[in-house]
Amino acid sequence: MRFLVTESLIAGFLLVSSTEAFNAQLGVTSLSPQTTTTSLQATKTDELAIQKAKLFKLLGTKPSTDNVLEDPVTKEPIEISASGALLGGDSRSRVPYTVKSASNSFKGSSDSFIDLLEPATEGENTSSSSSSSPLNDFLQRASPYVPVPLRGPLASLTDGEYIPMRDLFTSPAVSFAYERGWRQGFAQAGFPGPDIEAEMAMDYFAPVAAVAPGGFSKSVIVDMSCATGLFTRRFASTDRYGRVLGCDYSESMLTEARRRIKEQRSLAKLKTTKLDLVRLDVGQIPMRNESIDCLHAGAAMHCWPDLDSAFTEIYRVLKPGGRYFGTTFLSSYFATLSSMDGQGSNVPSQQAFQYFESVDSLEALVAKGGFDRSKIQIEVLGNACAVIRAEK
């Protein structure tokens, strides 16, 4: 990756230098437009411009400052460039990104995600990062909410056994756990299911994601804790947003989200929507102040380790008038589960999850982040699914 970047920089430099040398020879500088240009010069200059454009196409995109993402540590702007040809924003092959702020470099590529959790350390190679199994991640997040009859079979899938990533996702049981399981498992708590939840969120976002007449949407939507991209894909496949950012802490979840994005044909041809996957910490969101129109977090808040930081950060990155839509479990659901178990001890790793006792406590939490209480609405679906809508 480094080689390609260097090569691209050198080639670009040589080209610029030779253009200048060429102009200097003819007594032309780019700063004197009044200079009479002969048709020969014009042709040569055009030719050079064409060559230069061709070269850039070959070598990748020019670095440009990202207008949303920033360095999570220093808060400096970051530049992202692709060190290979990217046609139509989609590439079947792996194209490494160069992601850097003035102080730090980050990892990223077209076939995975942009890692803004922390700067890449010097000399680190791309395959060195440890990834836990996506199934384990899923179980950690979801198993307390999965109805008892499903939990046994799910847990037996992990059982300390190492399952290769590829096999894992071709297994029907795991697909079930991931996406269909979501619908069926969470339905018991009152969750409306991903299709309806996505519609509810997009209805709420509509006023801030309006598309200018005849124009393309410029609005930016974040799917926070996107996991396998259940909602990210739904948001991206509408043409309501200019940019969709699927964000998660887990590398394995993002890898699976990417795989599913690639699999969905309609997403390979997005013309007006830019879709990125970003690894981040919701307690330290690597995004600029007031850069986001809509932020969705589906069944995610109960997994956030520091809720106060998360809501302070969400409030910070939303534009004035920007909207948050999130769903989560009320703790009453656990009582139901425990009674179904007949033994409360079966609810796994309770301390790993946040418990929301009541609508009031949820409202207090969101308000603490900066939201005005008059702009927070919380609805309860079924027996324990809280739907939070909040406007900055």
Ligand X SMILES: *[C@@H]1O[C@H](CO)[C@@H](O)[C@H](O)[C@H]1NC(C)=O
CB atoms inside a 10 Å sphere around CB 56: 16
CA pair distance 340, 70, nearest whole angstrom? 46
The CB-of-3 to ligand X minimum distance in angstroms stands at 13
Decide: 275 and 232 in contact? Cβ < 8 Å: yes
The CB-of-289 to ligand X minimum distance in angstroms stands at 4
CA pair distance 198, 193, nearest whole angstrom? 8
**Given the complex with ligand X, which of 76 and 203 has the nearer CB atom?**
76
CA pair distance 122, 42, nearest whole angstrom? 46
The CB-of-75 to ligand X minimum distance in angstroms stands at 7
**Given the complex with ligand X, which of 137 and 313 has the nearer CB atom?**
313
**Given the complex with ligand X, which of 52 and 375 has the nearer CB atom?**
375
The CB-of-195 to ligand X minimum distance in angstroms stands at 35
| Pairing verdict, β 292-297 and 220-224 | parallel
The CB-of-126 to ligand X minimum distance in angstroms stands at 8
CA pair distance 60, 54, nearest whole angstrom? 10
Residues of the shown chain interacting with ligand X in the complex, contacts defined by CB under 6 A: 123, 125, 128, 289, 316
What does residue 85 show for φ and ψ, rounded to 5 degrees? -70, 130
**Given the complex with ligand X, which of 2 and 57 has the nearer CB atom?**
2
**Given the complex with ligand X, which of 284 and 383 has the nearer CB atom?**
284
**Given the complex with ligand X, which of 119 and 229 has the nearer CB atom?**
119
Decide: 283 and 314 in contact? Cβ < 8 Å: no
**Given the complex with ligand X, which of 123 and 342 has the nearer CB atom?**
123
The CB-of-291 to ligand X minimum distance in angstroms stands at 10
The CB-of-313 to ligand X minimum distance in angstroms stands at 9
CA pair distance 163, 135, nearest whole angstrom? 9
The single residue listed with the structure tokens 């990223």 is 108
Nearest to 70 by CA among 283, 337, 317: 317
Q: Is 33 exposed, middle or buried (0-12, 13-18, 19+ CB in 10 A)?
A: exposed
